[in-house]
Amino acid sequence: MDLGQLILLIIAIALVSVIFYISGAIVGGDWVVQAPYVLRIVIVSIFAVVAIPVFRNAMGEFDLGDLGLLFAFVLLILAVRFILVIELTVSDEWLASIVISLIGVVLIYIVDEVAMHLADIQMLSLF
């Protein structure tokens, strides 16, 4: 990994952190952030940017096709549920984690497409 790839990885983690902050704020209705919640957002973002594509690509190596994407999304829901949703005040934690994950994935794909069209780079190439 060269310096350019490392910088893009850090930018991707920062963008995904902002995306998960927005998703959590929309679901939880609270736009105030405390330090432990920021750390949880960064951990989930690192997981989303680094670990999930690894699992998705591993499933692709076994010729399971789109099952890898589904498995990666389920892993993201579990990570959001047990790391991020604990800090939010919601009535149904599983529903909140599914909605946060869904909003997060949609926004991640939108950011990736905008970066592709404006700068001709695939910002979140792991997705």
6-37 pLDDT, tens digit per residue, is 887 888 889 999 999 999 999 888 888 888 99
70-91 pLDDT, tens digit per residue, is 888 898 999 999 999 988 888 8
The CA distance from 97 to 32, in Å, is 19
Question: Which of 95-98's residues contact partners 24+ apart within 8 Å by CB, and which partners?
Answer: 96/27, 96/28
The CA distance from 40 to 80, in Å, is 9
**Amino acid (1-letter code) at residue 53:** P
What pTM did the predictor assign? 0.83
Residue 12 to residues 69, 98, 101, Cα–Cα distance (Å): 19, 22, 16
Contacts of 118 by beta carbon, 8 Å cutoff, 6+ apart: none
